[in-house]
Amino acid sequence: MQPKTGKTTCPYCGVGCGVLLTNSFTNSGKISPVSGDVEHPANFGRLCVKGSNLSDTLTSDGRLSVPKLHGNTVTWSIAIDAISEKIKQVIDEHGPDSFAFYLSGQILTEDYYVANKFAKGFIGTANVDTNSRLCMASAVVGYKRAFGSDTVPCNYEDLETCDLLIMVGSNAAWTHPVLYQRIVAAKEQRPNMKVVVIDPRRTATCDIADLHLAITPGTDAFIFSMLLVESEQNGVLDKSFIESNTDGFLNALMSAQKASPSIEATANILGVAKEDLGTLVDWWLATKKTVSFYSQGVNQSSSGVDKCNAIINCHLATGRIGHEGMGPFSITGQPNAMGGREVGGLANQLAAHMDFATPGAIDLVQRFWNAPKMATENGLKAVDMFQAMEQGKIKVIWIMSTNPMVSLPDTAQVKRALEKCEMVIVSDCQEFTDTSLMADVLLPATGWSEKDGTVTNSERRISRQRGILPPYAESKHDWWAISKVAQKMGFESSFSYSHPYEIFNEHAALSEFENHGKRDFDIGLLKDLTEESYNGLLPIQWPVTASSPNGTQRMFVDGRFFTPNQKAKFIPIEPKLPEASATEKYPFVLNTGRVRDQWHTMTRTGKSSKLANHTEEPYVDLHPKDADKLSIKDKELVRIMSKVGEIVVPAKVEAQSVSVREGEVFVPIHWTNQIANNAIVSSLVPQIVDPLSGQPESKHAIVNVTPIKSVLYGTILSAEPIDTTDFLYSCQITQDKGFRYEVAFNENLNIHHYRKTTVATFDIKQQGYWSDYKNTINGDQRFVYLVDGSPMAMFYVSTRPLNFDSSWLGSLLSNLNKTEAIVPIKLEEEDRIALSVGYKANTLDKGKIICSCFHVGEKQIQLALESGINNVTDLGTSLKCGTNCGSCIPELKQIIELSSEAVV
Partner 1 sequence: MSTQSVKERVVVVGAGMAGSRFAAELLLNNPDRWHVTLIGEEKEVGYNRIMLSSLLAKEVARDELSLIDVDHFRSHQGEVIAHDAVQYIDANEKHVHLSSGISLPFDKLVIATGSRSSQLNIYGNDASNIIGFRDMEDVSVMESLSQGSQAVVIGGGLLGLEAAVGLVKRGHKVTVLHRSSYLLNRQLDEESAALLLERLQAMGVEFRLSVSPESFNSLSVSANEVDSTDKAHSISLSSGEVIAADLFVVATGITPEINIAKEAGLSVNRAILVNEFLETSHKDIFAIGECTEFSCNTFGLVEPIWGQMKSLLAYFENRFEPFSIEPVPTKLKVSGVHLFSVGKIQSENNEGVIQYIDRSLNHYRKLIVKEGKLVGAILYGNVADGSWYFQLIQNQTNVSGMLDRLIFGESYCIEKVA
- Interface residues with partner 1 (CB under 8 A) are 769-778, 780, 784, 786, 789, 829-830, 832-834, 836-837, 841-842, 844-845, 859, 863
Residue 274 vs residues 253, 698, 878: alpha-carbon distances, Å: 21, 29, 43
Strand boundaries in 466-526, DSSP class E: none
Beta strands at 620-622 and 646-652: parallel, antiparallel or unpaired: parallel
In the complex, least distance from residue 52 CB atom to partner 1, rounded to whole angstroms: 28
| Beta carbon of residue 742, minimum distance to partner 1 (angstroms, whole number) | 18
CB of 745 to partner 1, least distance (A): 21
CB nearer partner 1, residue 643 or residue 756: 756
CA–CA separation, 796 vs 740, rounded Å? 11
Nearest-approach distance from CB 759 to partner 1, in angstroms: 13
Cβ at position 798, least distance to partner 1 in Å? 9
- Contact indicator for 591, 621 with CB cutoff of 8 Å: no
Separation between Cα atoms, residue 406 and residue 395, nearest integer Å: 21
The total of other beta-carbon atoms located within 10 Å of residue 363's CB is 11
Instruction: In angstroms, give the least distance from the CB of 444 to partner 1.
Output: 43
Answer whether 462's CB lies under 8 Å from 62's CB: no
Count Cα neighbours of 481 within 13 Å in the Cβ-side half-sphere: 32
Nearest CB to partner 1, comparing residues 264 and 866: 866
Beta carbon nearer to partner 1, 33 or 768: 768
Q: Of 156 and 796, which CB lies nearer to partner 1 in the complex structure?
A: 796
Half-sphere exposure for 308 (CA within 13 Å, toward CB) = 32
Is residue 572 reached through a cis peptide bond, with omega within 30 degrees of 0 on the bond before it? no
Per the CB < 8 A criterion, the answer to whether 692 and 423 are in contact is no
Residue whose CB is less far from partner 1, 749 or 863: 863
Least separation in angstroms between residue 791's CB and partner 1 is 10
Q: What are phi and psi of 742, to 5 degrees?
A: -100, 130
- Residues in contact with 407: Cβ distance below 8 Å, sequence separation at least 6, in sequence order: 131, 134, 600, 601, 669, 682
Q: Which is nearer to partner 1, 532 or 830 (CB)?
A: 830
Nearer to partner 1, 350 or 861 (CB): 861
User: In angstroms, what is the minimal distance from the CB of 843 to partner 1?
Assistant: 8
CB of 846 to partner 1, least distance (A): 9
Smallest separation, CB 787 to partner 1 (Å) = 9
In sequence order, the β-bridge partners of residue 786 are: 769, 791
The residue (of 821 and 841) whose beta carbon lies closer to partner 1 is 841
User: Which residue lies nearer to partner 1 by CB, 818 or 832?
Assistant: 832
Alpha-carbon distances, residue 741 vs 466, 617, 653, 720, 724 (angstroms): 36, 10, 21, 11, 8
505-512: list long-range contacts, CB under 8 Å, 24+ apart: 505/529, 505/534, 506/113, 507/109, 507/110, 507/113, 507/342, 507/343, 507/352, 509/368, 510/351, 510/352, 510/365, 510/368, 510/369, 511/342, 511/352, 511/353, 512/545
Residue 275 or 830 with smaller CB distance to partner 1: 830
Q: How far apart are CA 95 and CA 91, in angstroms?
A: 4
CB of 829 to partner 1, least distance (A): 6
Beta strands in 580-668 (DSSP E): 588-593, 620-622, 637-641, 646-652, 664-668
Shortest reach from residue 634's CB to partner 1, in Å: 18
Nearer to partner 1, 594 or 755 (CB): 755
Q: Which amino acid is at 586?
A: Y
How far apart are CB 855 and partner 1 at their closest, in Å? 16
Min dist CB 772 to partner 1, Å, is: 5
Partners of 702 in the beta sheet? 589
Nearer Cβ to partner 1 (445/786): 786
Give the C-alpha separation, 178 to 332, whole Å: 14
* Rounded Cα gap, residues 88 and 455, in angstroms: 31
- Are the beta carbons of 521 and 342 closer than 8 angstroms? yes
Question: 59 or 771, CB closer to partner 1?
Answer: 771
Return the number of the residue (362 or 784) whose C-beta is nearest partner 1.
Answer: 784
C-alpha to C-alpha distance for 843 and 371, rounded to whole angstroms: 70
List, in sequence order, every beta strand (DSSP E) within 84-190.
99-103, 128-130, 164-168
